Chain A
Amino acid sequence: MDSESHRKMADTMRKNLASNLVLIVAGMFLFFPLYAAAEFSLRNGADKTHGFAAYRWIFEQSGFAENIGITFRVTLLAVLLNLLIMVPTVTWLHLSGQRYKRVVEILTILPLIIPVVALATGAQLAMPEFMQNSVYELSFFYVVVAMPYTYRALDIGLSAHPLATLTNAARSLGASWLKTFTTVVAPTIRPSILAALFLMVALSLGEFTLAQLLHWSTFPVWVTNVSQQNIVGATALAIGSLFFAWILLFAFSFIGKKNSTIVTEEE
């Protein structure tokens, strides 16, 4: 028995060693490019010192407030559109529309495989003039481009809970529609909604090609244009945004589960 437990221990250590090794090697591969770019972004120009000057640069450019404002408004509309269109539709699909799920799934994968250049060109060929004169046309296209991700986020989140059963149970226990929605449905789907909206915001903040080809100056477009003159600043911005996005996502992943009032199988 002793040799058996010894063998088991050695086995476990070997297994853990293998998986640890994989993680370490992967970590190094992913770390070095980030580190090298970060080091470059901290340089102070001709002298060999380092500092955070480049990180302040983008905030000091005139046009920062104007363009961030434009992107903010476009994002807000995109988020609203998602709430009004995606969330109810996916919820309905889970509750009563199972037979249409397959079709919708296939449709929502399409924006992933169509190059954005194609969408932009097609948009200019097809859309009527009055739509093309407003920057808010971007919001509508962003909802479409984000659809593969937002749909899946909502879908996976909703699948994790037996929503129909719960709703049915609440209803048969006498809860009114309002009570069911506020105490059963809403808390269940809130983490998924938040996840989908987060994806929408992330896409809008980084989307460049569509805005550029439709001749709009949004924050990402403005940043790219201004960055042509300052490589260090541009790199600082790229690294800074990566870091910021990661912090947000990481923090967000802790908040998600806590507020759920439904007891589920722990993953």
Chain B
Amino acid sequence: MRAKRLVVAATSAAILASGLVLATGPAQAATNFCTVQNLQQAGGMDALVKAAKAEKELNIITVPRDWANYGEAIDLFSKAFGIKINDDNPEGSSAYEIQTIKTAPASKQPDVVDIGVSVLPDALGIGRKALFAPYKVATWNDIPSEWKDSNGLWYGDYYGLMAISYDASLPKAPTSIKALLTDPAFKGAFALSGDPTGSQQALMGLFAIAAANGGSATNIMPGIEALKAAKAAGNFVSVIGNSANYAAGAYKATITWDFNGPGAIASSAAAGKPLKFVIPSDVALQGTPYLQAINTKAPHCAAARLWEEFLYSQNIGKGSREFDAADAKLSGSKIFKMIMGGQNIWVAGAAHPITEAAMIKKKTIVNAPEGFAVPKTAKRVAPSPDQQADQKAIVVTEWPKL
């Protein structure tokens, strides 16, 4: 009797088990999203979105909300896919991103990074494994070849131009860098956006000042000399040109990335100060593009890849304010098609997305905000990473002697 029961039980169990196996069938060969290198390997957009949603979170790092309109990208992505985005140290530097990858425990690892070119050698690591996982987004071919790794380890995302940001209450609008530093009307007005021995943006500002005063991408010393003279004349205030000091009235004008414009103008208005942006008429300093990459130790692999697809999407569609709950119920690929792509979100933030040229050809680009046009008289200067490296050494020794 007992033996019979056992046999029945065993057989039922076997049938059940095989049934389960059959039912789950193909999904048993589950995709390991941590090794997926493009959308095909992921099984299509629907599969990618499904896996990303299951991961529920995305870790990003050192992304200020008002930097190149990233705030909108974060809000839209979270809303559309129901994924919570954790931003570690929004005001941190690219070096902080790489340090974090190297030293943080598994749960604190960022999924993706947005770094400056200067930290790339350290990240790629000569003689040891690179820190990044290869991935090629759907719009890969639209990225210029000099700004992407052939294996897909890193890829440029956007670049900016140096613009003058100034308080509208100044007696007249500063239209050129040279005037800003020498005109007595701007006494006590100009501050550098940061410490050029630590801040990439401030370093590029110094390059712009150099180019406006007889220097170039290979000669930054005239920039330091010009600031010395400006300090003596009283135009240069030796304080960091950030929003707090601006609100306190410590300075009235600085040189900063144009893609910081829309965010800065909005938050200054909230504090009751009228901030304006203009590209200088003497020098249009073009920065090297920032770079995106996926961390090999990413804790949320599918979400990381979905985020990259999102950032490189050239779609024109709904923003975070227009997207509603009904839209969220659609399938993954449908949602992806109907939301604004990252490249266009950056355009709205006055940044220049990396696939700009292709987007203009395909006519998939939205209009840039008003007031950021490049004057025809402006000399284009674009210091390459090597040129920057050379001049940095001079800055580190000469700047503390200002």
Contacts and interface: CB of A to CB of B under 8 A. Distances in A.
B87 A225 contact: yes
Given A129-B106, A231-B247, A212 B89 contact: yes
B267 A132 contact: no
Most buried by A among B90, B106, B271: B271
B65 A46 contact: no
Nearest to B248: A40
A217 B270 CA distance: 26
Nearest to A45: B272
**Interface size of A as a range:** 20 to 34
Contacts of B107: 133
A145 to B, nearest CB: 20
A225 B91 contact: yes
B243 A215 contact: no
Contacts of B104: 124, 132, 215
Contacts, number: 55
Interface in A33-49: 40, 43-47
A46 B272 contact: yes
A168 interface: no
A232 B273 CA distance: 11
Interface string B261-285: 0000001011110000000000000
Contacts of B244: 231, 234
Contact of B88 (A45, A124, A132, A215): A215
A132 B105 CA distance: 6
Is chain B's interface secondary structure helix, strand, loop, or mixed overall?
mixed
B238 interface: no
Contact of B105 (A40, A125, A129): A129
A229 B74 CA distance: 15
A264 interface: no
B105 A230 contact: no
B64 interface: yes
Interface in B193-228: none
21 contacts: A43-B272, A45-B269, A45-B270, A45-B271, A45-B272, A47-B272, A125-B103, A133-B106, A212-B89, A215-B104, A217-B86, A228-B65, A228-B90, A228-B91, A229-B66, A230-B267, A230-B271, A231-B271, A232-B247, A232-B270, A232-B271
Given A129-B106, A225-B90, A228-B65, 19 more contacts: A40-B247, A40-B248, A43-B272, A45-B269, A45-B272, A46-B272, A47-B272, A124-B104, A132-B105, A215-B104, A215-B108, A217-B86, A225-B89, A228-B64, A230-B267, A230-B270, A231-B244, A232-B271, A234-B244
Interface of A: 40, 43-47, 124-125, 129, 132-133, 212, 215, 217, 225, 228-232, 234
Interface of B: 64-66, 86-91, 100, 103-108, 243-244, 247-248, 267, 269-272
